[in-house]
Each structure stands twice: as structure tokens, then as C-alpha cells.
Amino acid sequence: MTTNNEFVSHLITIRPEERQINWQSLDFTLFFHFGVNTFTGREWGDGTESPAVYDPADLNTDQWCEALVSAGAKACIITAKHHDGFCLFDSAYTGHSVKNSPKPLDVVASLSKSCGKYGVKLGVYLSPWDRHEKTYGSGKPYDDYFCAQLEELTTNYGPLYTVWFDGACGEGPNGKVQVYDWNRYYEIIRRNQPDAVISISGPDVRWIGNEAGATRPCEWSVVPARLRDNRLIAERSQRSDDQAFRVKPLSEEDEDLGSREFLESEEELCWYPAEVDVSIRPGWFYHKEEDNKVRSVENLLNIYERSVGGNAVLLLNVPPDTAGRISTFDSIRLRELGDRIRSIYTENLLADAKISLEDTLESRDLSSVLIDDESYWIGDKEKAEIIITLPEVKKLTHFVLSEQIRESQRIEEFTVSAMISDTWQEIHRGTTVGYKKICRFDLIETRKLKLMISKSRIAPTLRFIAGYYDSSAIIIY
């Protein structure tokens, strides 16, 4: 039987692969749902659609990337093939693709070129469920077909940062359901795109568990390895075009995935960070009747701060319209969101602060360590007190922390206090930190902050500390 110290020591040996760190550093990414559903008004096509319905009048992937960059996102995923089986790329293995449509442009190739032009990363979604392909449900013959398309996507379109699989699995045109050969799929991706993460129905990135933009108050990346079981992922995934599913919150039993108490009875653990996928509209594909239902800037900023600032990556879906462009409604909102993010997070107000680690015996200067975002500090005990002293009084509304996740995820409880009227006042109480934690609070004016780490796994780490000011906030005392 292991002791508690042995167990906690084991927890901090669970650490990310480099591809997972690179993925987490993206913070904010976009999803482009586009295909025959864009023109039929459906969310889930049934595979009987004619390629003739796909007819974008002004497809412009440069414009997609311009909208992405305006929001401050760093990467995008394209639905290379959705459940209807229609391919947005020139696959040699099916005629059900753009090559037989009125606009025979390889969209994946076009977007790959645009991503290179605008300096953003590209990922692909390829649905294993194919409601058009006749071999679906036949076992190896379908896997051969699917793997051939995976080979095309992972070799013909340059570097990919992710290959994204959801958990949807239903009947094909013959009424049969395919048992996917996941290990075979993963081998192809690892061989052709070794730096790409395999997301959701994959070993590298975990689905947050809903499509509503809801997040956990404590998001752990060290979680039970059983969460990577694709049967479990499929059970919890959307099984039909269900609008209610898209607004369903997280269930209470899913709130704790990584506390010490939760993990003690688990046989195997893994590093499996979370992604928050949510659409800017009620649907995932473009529908004109939803033009007036685009999420507000404040709602999107709230989702951004809770996901990116909650140890997850935000994957925001923005569907191109029937012309093949990001609609004016969506592109304006993306620009507004980007402007709000930049207005808050551009200037680190703690850049010239003195940051001191306080101990009963000494005070150690950590200023250069925690401001440059390159080096990091690791403690020698479970608790720590850090004092941040500014050269002058400044207004603050946000406090940001980052752990060095190469040393695992360690911080379990912390508080942030500010010196106001010569008195320490607690302004935020938190639990997990991980890659990034954004602490939001009512506007304060102070020149001294205190970070108290009251519980951690063996000893805490910190890679970065920052403070920011949202000029739209109102000061409250």
C-alpha cells in the first residue's frame, strides 16, 4: 500500500508530451464547419445529398483567416469530411466531394495556403462516421477506405497541429454500424504528423464534456486514463442532431476529474488536457435565420476567460456562409472580441513590479523569473507566500498565473489579496492553475498584491505572473 506522500509524488510524474504543450500554448482556436449542410440548411446530412448542392459563389479562405486573426485566434480546424461523407478535399477514393461540385476547389488545400499566408496553424476534422460510403459497417474494407483518406489529409496539406475526431457513431447506408480501428488511425497520424495532437476521440486532447461553453471551476490535466476510452467518449457524445444537446451544461458527477481524493482509487493516470468547443451561433453550420443569434461580445469574452483562463483551450466554431465567406455578422463579432481581448491583455501591469518569495528566514527576489515567461520557479515546500510590489498605485481587474506544466500540474489551492487602505483584502480564491489561470475581480487600485499558495502537490511551480486592467470596469469598494 502506498502512502499519501508516495501517491502525491506519483501524481507529479504525470507530465505532457511536447505536442500537448504546443497545443495548449495556442489558447484560442477556431472551427470552420462547412460543407453540403451549409446549403441544405441541415446540421447532420444523411449522405444522400448531391454534390451539385455545394455551390459557394465567392469562397475565400483568405477572408476566413483574416477574421480569425482579427479575433486573436492562432489556429483553425476545417471539417474536411462531416458525417454526410462529402469531402472538401480532392480525395481519390470517392466521387462524393468538391471535385464533382459546381465549385471544384479543394478547400483544404486553399485553407492550408491561406493559413501559411497569415501565419496560423491548420487542423482537420475527418468524421469516421460516413453516411454515404457503402463500405461503412463492413469492418476492414471501410477502415481501408477511411485510412486511405487519412493518408491523403496527413500527407498532402502540409503540417497539421491537430487531427480532430468526435464521438459520433451511427448507421451507414447499409444500416450497419462500423467498429472503428482507432489504433490503426492513430498510427497513420503519428507517422505522418508526429507533432499533431489527436483530439477528442484520441489520446492527446480531452473534450470538456458539453457544447455550451460551460467549464469546470477546477480543470485538471492529470486525470484517469480511462477517460481516453473511445467507447466512453461515444456514449457521452451527441448521437443525433439534437439542439438540446448543444446547450446542455456539465453534469455534477463530471465536475471533479482530478482531485487527489478522486484519483486515489484509479489504476492508471494520464496527461489529458481539456478543450472547450462551442459555436458562435446556435448551430454548427451556417443558417441564415441565425444571423441575429450570434453570441454577444460579453458572452464570448466570458467563455474565453473561463476556458483559456481555466487550463483549457477554446475552440470557437465560426461557420462560413453559403457564399463561402465568414458572414458580416460573425466577422464583426470576431473583430469586436479580438479588440476586447487586446484591450485587456496587451499590457502586463506587473512588468515592472518587484516579486518576492517570503519565507520565515529570507525574502527571495523572483521578479526576473516570473515576468519573462521563459524561466520558472519551483518551490521546496507545499505552501508559498509571494508579494508583488508595484512602483506606483495601479488599477487592476485581472490577475493571471501560469504553472510550468513540464513539471506537471501542482497547485491545488491559492488566494490573491490586495493592499487597500493599508489592509489586505482577499480579491480572489482559486484552486487549480495549470497552463493558465485568469482571476477576475471587481476593479481595485493598489500597489501591493499577495499570492498565497496554501496547498500543492509536493511543491508549487510558477512560470508567469501578470496583472491587467479592463477599462470598461467600474471601481467598487
Rounded Cα–Cα distance for residues 452 and 290 (Å): 46
Over the stretch 194-209, which tens digit does the pLDDT of each residue have?
Answer: 999 999 999 999 999 9
If you average pLDDT over residues 427-450, what whole number do you get?
98
Evaluate if residue 237 carries a pLDDT over 70.
no
**Domain 4-345 in this protein, CATH class:** alpha beta
DSSP characters over 335-391: HHHHHHHHHHHSS-TTTT-EEEEE-SS-EEE-HHHHHSSSS-EE-SSS-EEEEEEEE
Average pLDDT of every residue of the chain: 94
Rounded Cα–Cα distance for residues 93 and 374 (Å): 46
Q: What's the one-letter identity of residue 402?
A: S
Over the stretch 76-95, which tens digit does the pLDDT of each residue have?
Answer: 999 999 999 999 999 999 99
Contact 399, 392 (CB under 8 A): no
Contact 184, 148 (CB under 8 A): no
Confidence tier at 476 by pLDDT (50, 70, 90): very low
Residues 6 or more apart whose Cβ sits within 8 Å of residue 210: 248, 249, 250
Evaluate if residue 145 carries a pLDDT over 60.
yes
Q: Which pLDDT score is estimated for 411?
A: 98
Rounded Cα–Cα distance for residues 230 and 144 (Å): 20
For the record, the C-alpha cell of 102 comes out as 459546381
Q: Which pLDDT score is estimated for 477?
A: 41
Evaluate if residue 360 carries a pLDDT over 90.
no
- Measure the CA dihedral 133/138/144/148, to 10°: 20
Evaluate if residue 2 carries a pLDDT over 70.
no
Evaluate if residue 241 carries a pLDDT over 90.
no
Rounded Cα–Cα distance for residues 250 and 382 (Å): 31
By C-alpha distance, which of 300, 289, 364 is closest to 322?
A: 289
Q: List the end-to-end C-alpha distance of the chain, in Å, as a whole number.
A: 52
Evaluate if residue 455 carries a pLDDT over 50.
yes
Block residue for cell numbers 476586447: 340
Q: Which pLDDT score is estimated for 170?
A: 85
If you average pLDDT over residues 70-77, what whole number do you get?
98
Name residue 461's beta-bridge partners: 378
Evaluate if residue 246 carries a pLDDT over 60.
no
By C-alpha distance, which of 168, 130, 161 is closest to 148?
A: 130
| Alpha-carbon separation of residue 229 from 183, 204, 328, 365 (angstroms) | 12, 12, 40, 45
Rounded Cα–Cα distance for residues 221 and 14 (Å): 9
Domain ranges of the chain: 4-345, 354-468
| Alpha-carbon separation of residue 321 from 36, 203, 226, 291, 402 (angstroms) | 11, 33, 39, 10, 38
Name residue 123's beta-bridge partners: 77, 162
Evaluate if residue 236 carries a pLDDT over 70.
no
Residue 81 has a CB neighbour count (10 Å cut-off) of 29
Evaluate if residue 248 carries a pLDDT over 60.
no
Q: Spell out the SS3 assignment of 259-326.
A: CHHHHCCCCCEEECCEEEEEECCCCCCCCHHHHHHCCCHHHHHHHHHHHCCECEEEEEECCCCCCCCC
Q: Which pLDDT score is estimated for 232?
A: 75
Confidence tier at 1 by pLDDT (50, 70, 90): very low
Confidence tier at 247 by pLDDT (50, 70, 90): low
Specify the CATH number for 354-468; select among 2.30.30.230, 3.40.30.10, 3.40.50.12240, 2.60.120.260.
2.60.120.260
Check the CA dihedral 419-421-426-427 and report its sign: negative
User: If phi over 0 gives left and psi between -120 and 50 gives alpha, with beta otherwise, what is residue 304?
Assistant: alpha
Evaluate if residue 169 carries a pLDDT over 90.
no
pTM for this entry: 0.95
